[in-house]
Every structure is written in C-alpha cells, then in structure tokens.
C-alpha cells in the first residue's frame, strides 16, 4: 500500500522536477482529475510533449512524456504557488506574469484549470496552482 500525499499537485510537480533532474523523459503517476488538468495545461503551453491515461486497477495511471528522447526538457523551473497551509488567490486583473511572459501560471478557476492568459481573457480569477518557466 502506498502513502497518499496530502497535496497531490505538489507531489505531481515534484515528480516532474525530479525526473528532469535525473534525465528521465517520462513519468507515471496515479491519475486524478486535477493532475490531468494540470498536465493538459502544461501540454497546451508546450512545456511537456504528451499526456495519456493508461487503464489500470485499482486506479488509472497518468503517463506524462516530458520530452522526446535526446532532447532537453522545456521546463527550467516548476513550482507550486498555492499550498495547503497558505492558499494563494488572484483576481483576473492581478494575474502574475512569469519571467516577463516567457513562463505561465496555471490557475484553478470556476471553469476549470487554465493558463493565466486564458483566465485573463475570460476575466476569471482563482487559485494559482503552478508557476512554470
């Protein structure tokens, strides 16, 4: 039996960061709707190559391809902004820019997880989950 992390997104981000540091090209983690939404957001912003769900018992597995074999990872820095002990929220007009627009923030809004730019366009605020550059 594996230990359940209290903050599933922080665990997911740490696994990505660790895989990049040791030169792995892909990771597999137990899936959840929130992790899938974060992975899809990273894929849409072209920070990771691919996201697939593999059917398994008792829980499906999220298969994330960080980069192609022989290529460098596109993620230089990835961190969790809002933590269980200190939640960070923002309004639509105060969404932070990451590295002068070269990076993104993923925000959990009332209409799902989206990048800071999308949230700004739709005039939505929410909880800042992840900062990537």
Q: At what angle do helices 8-21 and 33-44 cross, to 10 degrees?
A: 50
Whole-angstrom distance, CA of residue 5 vs CA of residue 116:
26
pLDDT of residue 105: 96
Query: DSSP assignment of 9-39, as one string?
Result: HHHHHHHHHHHHHTT-SEEEEE--HHHHHHH
Delimit the CATH 3.30.1370.30 region(s) of the chain: 8-65
Delimit the CATH 3.30.1490.10 region(s) of the chain: 78-132
pTM, two decimal places: 0.91
Query: Does residue 95 contact residue 89 with C-beta atoms inside 8 Å?
Result: no
H helical segments located in 4-133? 8-21, 33-44, 116-121
CATH number of 78-132: 3.30.1490.10
Q: Does domain 8-65 have CATH number 3.30.1370.30?
A: yes
pLDDT of residue 2: 55
pLDDT of residue 19: 96
pLDDT of residue 63: 96
Helix or strand or coil: residue 99?
helix
In this structure, what token pair is assigned to residue 129?
A: 């989950």
pLDDT in tens for each of the 133 residues of the chain?
455 557 899 999 999 999 999 999 999 999 999 999 999 999 999 999 999 999 988 899 999 999 988 888 899 999 999 999 999 999 999 999 999 889 999 999 999 999 999 999 999 999 999 999 9
């Amino acid at each position: 039996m594996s230990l359940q992390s209290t903050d599933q997104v922080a665990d997911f981000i740490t696994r990505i960061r660790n895989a990049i540091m040791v030169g792995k090209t892909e990771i597999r983690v137990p899936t959840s709707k929130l992790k899938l939404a974060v992975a899809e957001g990273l894929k849409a912003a072209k920070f990771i190559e691919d996201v697939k769900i593999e059917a398994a018992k008792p829980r499906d597995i999220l298969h994330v391809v960080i980069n192609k074999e022989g290529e460098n990872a596109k993620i230089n820095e990835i961190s969790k902004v809002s933590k269980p002990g200190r939640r960070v929220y923002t309004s639509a007009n105060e969404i932070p820019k990451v590295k002068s627009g070269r990076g993104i923030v993923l925000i959990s809004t009332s209409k799902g997880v989206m990048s800071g730019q999308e949230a700004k366009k739709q005039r939505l605020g929410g909880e800042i989950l992840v900062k990537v550059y």
